[in-house]
Structure 1
């Protein structure tokens, strides 16, 4: 069976979702991040998997549900951290982030089906901003991620080319929108109205203030 990896930051004000500030305060941005992470972990818990692993930057909190194994992220740039996460796996693995609270077990189902890895070496989930929200490897090979430029518009295209250049057969998942900006948050909340993220966004957006930009730790 496949290992499910979730790579995430602990929802600490000033350390997470800093691009939501303003209009949201650092505390509100952290509240939205916690809701997004909770939705993501709930989707992961509702799917069949060999292991369910949270690869965490920071310390676990009361938001962590039972049934999730936690390992710390390694130091270094994001490509190295993603590579190291795959390096922890002995068999097929699928990695997702915490930025897509619209994630559902149905979206994950093709990668976890009995035939998920038949004539398939990799799964790729593109993100609307040019990145990717999911990456699955039948044989986890960290070097497939090392050196890929992260957090730029061409990240997804470069990563997918890296897979095909290695001779892998790649299957694609639907495109999803990451929550990076306040506009993204509004759009994703509308897509997933029953989510924890949508509920938190609705509460906060109703009374949001627009303070001067806050200096935060990035």
Structure 2
């Protein structure tokens, strides 16, 4: 089965993204960190071989050349996640969805996730976040994204509730490595250390110190 990687993202506008970085960051610095995180995430996906690539975006941020682009749809995050799968569905292709909050993700990890999703004994892959959420969710049948509409987001048990809902549907789930996502400036500093030094994200974090 072929696969696509979806990147769910917000256009990095000061005052609209990464507001929990403020303080100590200014809104402009927070937007710069968000822009760097998105750029590094897109670069990692672009370097992942053998996949289709699509940006699912809120706002007017353009997709990189060769990518598809879909506008986010829905009021709540749960609705936007569900619709991201539904609006990009391709017959016969699994969908691996990630956000823009784990810029330390690399092409190797993404390629491994896609390979695992394509194995005969797997219906979904799940990447837990250290704060109790998740950083990646791959579904061979994107219709199962329906469960995300009703799950509270940004809580310490979002990941556990997501796993339980998917298992209630009888899905066979392979777990990916846990990653720390960027919510606060403390998170940003920790994640920057895990990124390649040449990446845009660690440079943006260093500039905001």
Query: Same-fold call, TM > 0.5?
Result: yes
1:131 match: 133
CA radius of gyration, larger in: 1
**Pairing 1:8-19 to 2, within 5 Å after superposition:** 8-19=9-20
Q: Could you state the TM-score of these two structures normalised by the residue count of structure 1?
A: 0.89
Q: Quote the residue 1:85 is aligned against.
A: 84
Find the residue that maps to 2:142 and give its secondary structure: coil
Secondary structure of 1:146's match? helix
- CA-CA distance at 1:173 after TM superposition: 0.5
Counterpart check, 1:185 vs 2:162: no
CA distance in 2, matches of 1:114, 1:201: 33
Cα gap change, 1:115 to 1:3, in 2 (>3 Å): closer
Structure 1 residue 115: deviation in Å?
A: 7.2
How far apart in 2 are the matches of 1:49 and 1:72?
24
In the alignment, the residues of structure 2 paired with residue 162 and residue 124 of structure 1 have an alpha-carbon distance, to the nearest angstrom, of 12
2:198 corresponds to 1:199: no
Kept in 2: contact 1:3–1:89 (CA 8 A):
no
After superposition, residues 169-184 of structure 1 pair within 5 angstroms as: 169-184=172-187
- Gaps spanning 5+ residues in structure 1: where? 206-218
Per mean C-alpha deviation after superposition, the further-off stretch among 44-53 and 162-171 is 44-53
Report if aligned partners of 1:126, 1:156 keep a CA contact under 8 Å in 2. Answer: yes
| Shift of residue 191, structure 1, vs aligned partner | 1.2
Distance 1:39 1:105 in 2: 11
Report the aligned-residue RMSD.
Answer: 1.4
Moved over 4 A (4+): none
Classify the secondary structure of the residue corresponding to 2:150: coil
Q: Calculate the TM-score normalised by the size of structure 2.
A: 0.93
Label 1:106 to 1:149 Cα distance change in 2 as closer, same or farther (>3 A). same
Distance 1:103 1:114, change over 3 A: closer
Quote the Cα distance in structure 1 between the aligned partners of 2:35 and 2:140: 30
Deviation at 1:117, TM superposition (A): 3.0
Name 2:122's counterpart in structure 1: 120
- 1:155-187 CA deviation, whole Å, 9 max, x = no partner? 000001111111110000000011010100110
CA–CA distance in 1 between the matches of 2:79 and 2:38?
22
Q: CA deviation at 1:204?
A: 1.9
CA shift for structure 1 position 107 = 1.0
Verify: 1:25 aligned to 2:22, yes or no: no
Counterpart position of 1:98: 100
